[in-house]
Chains A and B, each alone.
Chain A
Amino acid sequence: EAGVTQFPSHSVIEKGQTVTLRCDPISGHDNLYWYRRVMGKEIKFLLHFVKESKQDESGMPNNRFLAERTGGTYSTLKVQPAELEDSGVYFCASSQGIRGEQFFGPGTRLTVL
Chain B
Amino acid sequence: AQKVTQAQTEISVVEKEDVTLDCVYETRDTTYYLFWYKQPPSGELVFLIRRNSFDEQNEISGRYSWNFQKSTSSFNFTITASQVVDSAVYFCAGGGTSYGKLTFGQGTILTVHP
Contacts and interface: CB of A to CB of B under 8 A. Distances in A.
Given A101-B50, A102-B47, A44 B104 contact: yes
Interface string A66-101: 000000000000000000000001010101001101
Interface in B36-66: 37, 42-47, 50
Contacts of B50: 101
A33 B95 CA distance: 13
Contacts, number: 62
Contacts of B99: 48, 56, 98
A48 B43 contact: no
Interface residues of A, number: 28
A106 B101 contact: no
Contacts of A44: 104
Contacts of B33: 99
Given A103-B47, A107-B43, A43 B91 contact: yes
A27 interface: no
B100 A33 contact: yes
25 contacts: A31-B100, A33-B101, A33-B102, A42-B104, A42-B106, A42-B107, A43-B91, A43-B104, A44-B104, A50-B100, A55-B100, A56-B99, A56-B101, A59-B101, A98-B99, A99-B33, A99-B95, A99-B100, A101-B47, A102-B47, A103-B47, A104-B37, A104-B44, A105-B44, A106-B42
Interface of B: 4, 33, 35, 37, 42-47, 50, 91, 93, 95, 97, 99-107
